[in-house]
Structure 1
Amino acid sequence: MAKQIDEKTLAILSRVTVEGNVIFLTCGQLDRKEYLAVNAVLENMGGKWNKKAKGHVYDGDPTDALEQVLLSGEIVPPQKYGYFPTPPELAQHVVALAEVEPGQAVLEPSAGQGGIADHLTGCAVSCVELLPDNAKVLRDKGYHLLHEGTFFDVLPAPEYDRVVMNPPFEKQADIDHVLHAWKFVKPGGRLVAIMASSVAFRENRKTVEFRELLERYGFMEHNPAGSFKASGTMVNTVTVVMDKAA
């Protein structure tokens, strides 16, 4: 069973610097307990402290392995966090948070095979999906496919009462997707997005600026641990809700 990493250690790890195959701690002086916790994670990722390099040295670029640790909050084997369908219980929850009404125009970017759209009964649902096999499933289900390809190719226009989404998480792509999706919400509309839990604690500029935006327009709640277990990942997630003024 993968070992859970505490949030303080994750926050420290989110501020490290990666140069080539070396990870450098750049968050100032740590006390012994903090260092031992961070060192344990870095070593489990395959790194070894090198006094001469003044950092943890890896056989290759540790960026992806570090990203997986920050996404999952666990020491797990590296894997790509791309398409993971939204489990039914979580899909129902985010749709409830969206407070959709019959007849409303709703956009689901990165729609997958309609894991969220399937719960948007009575709404005029438009989908965007990158993967051809998933796009075919959406068409077969009768959904309006606004675009087959990357969401960023779609020119934003504030035409939707609701945007409900489960974007890709890898390398903080979820922030980029949510910021783009926000441009599609009409005045008085709402956006609800599942995001990686690292958006709650990472301290890089991109994350901090996103949290500042969220403070102005909405709120964040943590989803139960293991919410995506049925979809093949233990990545920890939050749900973000943002309202656009009428």
Structure 2
Amino acid sequence: MLIAKAVCRELELAVCDGPVVRLREGVDPVVADGVHRVLTRSGACWSFRQRAYVFADLYPSGRAAELVERIVARRCAVPRPDRGVVSCPQSIAELLWSEIPHGEGMEALEPSAGHGVLAAEGAARGWVMDCYEIDGDRAADITRAGIARTVGTADFLTIEARAEYDAVVMYPPHRRNVAVEHILHAHRFLRPGGVLGALVSIGIENTAGPAGRKFQELLKCSSYIHVLDDHDFEDGYLLSPTGLRLRAQLLYLYADDAQG
């Protein structure tokens, strides 16, 4: 269905800043509703904090302007087959990092970094960041953004663990068993005294099987969990690969001795 010319006009006048699209003040409510529908159908979320639309899967270095241009050219919402990786919302990235103590020269890793939102926030706070990302295009985006010291293009689970980081920050896959596998592997990259912070779905602590039992042992030894509510999400929410909204929590695991 074609969108109205007035909606296209407002999109042409919108200001695009990276993944953010900001409309003019005082837009006619009917036109604003049309803009809302076409942007959200194209993958954007309304951010109350920024008072703008945010394409969360384009953080930190993607360009919403190119999507808006496609919408205007086609006069309809654009399909997004590349939306398979939805980034950690910026407000949650800030909250996750706020619980991790920082000192000068400290080093952190974002495994399976996606678009590098957590790495970008860490770099902004003065951390020396390294990343792994399996997709070459997304890895190149992180490299171009200049937020990481190194960016490895690889499946993180194939990387030999090295206990050399003060922190690991991650948004692992949603499926419980896969998420636990990523977390257990990432925990082995921590130096003694380091901390792993992860955005995970509610219920991950109930993962079954050998990996689940090992994960539960870690939780009992040294962990902290912050369950997220709607007030924590200032710029969107979490979606599963099937498009369902997820309840989530921030999980912190500490490394008080050498990893085995």
- Contact 1:111/1:128 (8 A) holds in 2: yes
More displaced stretch, 95-104 vs 135-144:
95-104
1:216 aligns with 2:221: yes
Kindly provide the amino acid, as one letter, of the partner of residue 211 in structure 1.
Answer: Q
Q: Which residue of 2 aligns with 1:147?
A: 152
Report sequence identity in percent: 25
Cα-Cα RMSD: 2.3
User: Could you state the TM-score of these two structures normalised by the residue count of structure 2?
Assistant: 0.58
Q: Which residue of 2 aligns with 1:88?
A: 90
Give the drift of 1:82. Answer: 5.4
Of 140, 151, 165, the match for 1:136: 140
- Contact 2:195/2:255 (8 A) holds in 1: yes
Residues 144-180 of structure 1: per-residue CA shift (max 9 Å, x gap) = 3342020012111100011111111235211011100
Kindly provide the amino acid, as one letter, of the partner of residue 243 in structure 1.
Answer: Y
Q: In the aligned structure 2, how far is the partner of 1:177 from the partner of 1:82? A: 18
Of 234, 238, 246, the match for 2:249: 238
Structure 1: runs of 5 or more not aligned: 1-80
More displaced stretch, 147-156 vs 199-208:
199-208
Q: In the aligned structure 2, how far is the partner of 1:217 from the partner of 1:171? A: 20
Residues 17-62 of structure 1: per-residue CA shift (max 9 Å, x gap) = xxxxxxxxxxxxxxxxxxxxxxxxxxxxxxxxxxxxxxxxxxxxxx
Structure 2 SS opposite 1:113: coil
Structure 2 SS opposite 1:119: helix
1:165 aligns with 2:170: yes
Rate the CA distance shift 1:179–1:202 in 2: closer, same or farther, 3 A.
closer
Residues 94-152 of structure 1: per-residue CA shift (max 9 Å, x gap) = 11112233321110111111111111121110001111221111010112334202001
Relative to its length, the structure with more strand (as a share) is: 1
User: Could you state the TM-score of these two structures normalised by the residue count of structure 1?
Assistant: 0.61
Rate the CA distance shift 1:174–1:82 in 2: closer, same or farther, 3 A.
farther
Kindly provide the amino acid, as one letter, of the partner of residue 127 in structure 1.
Answer: C
Structure 2: runs of 5 or more not aligned: 1-82
- Contact 2:177/2:207 (8 A) holds in 1: no
Q: In the aligned structure 2, how far is the partner of 1:169 from the partner of 1:232? A: 9
Count, aligned residues:
166
Give the drift of 1:207. Answer: 3.1
- Contact 1:111/1:117 (8 A) holds in 2: yes
Kindly provide the amino acid, as one letter, of the partner of residue 131 in structure 1.
Answer: D
Kindly provide the amino acid, as one letter, of the partner of residue 107 in structure 1.
Answer: L
Structure 1 SS opposite 2:117: coil
Rate the CA distance shift 1:232–1:216 in 2: closer, same or farther, 3 A.
closer
Q: In the aligned structure 1, how far is the partner of 2:226 from the partner of 2:211? A: 19
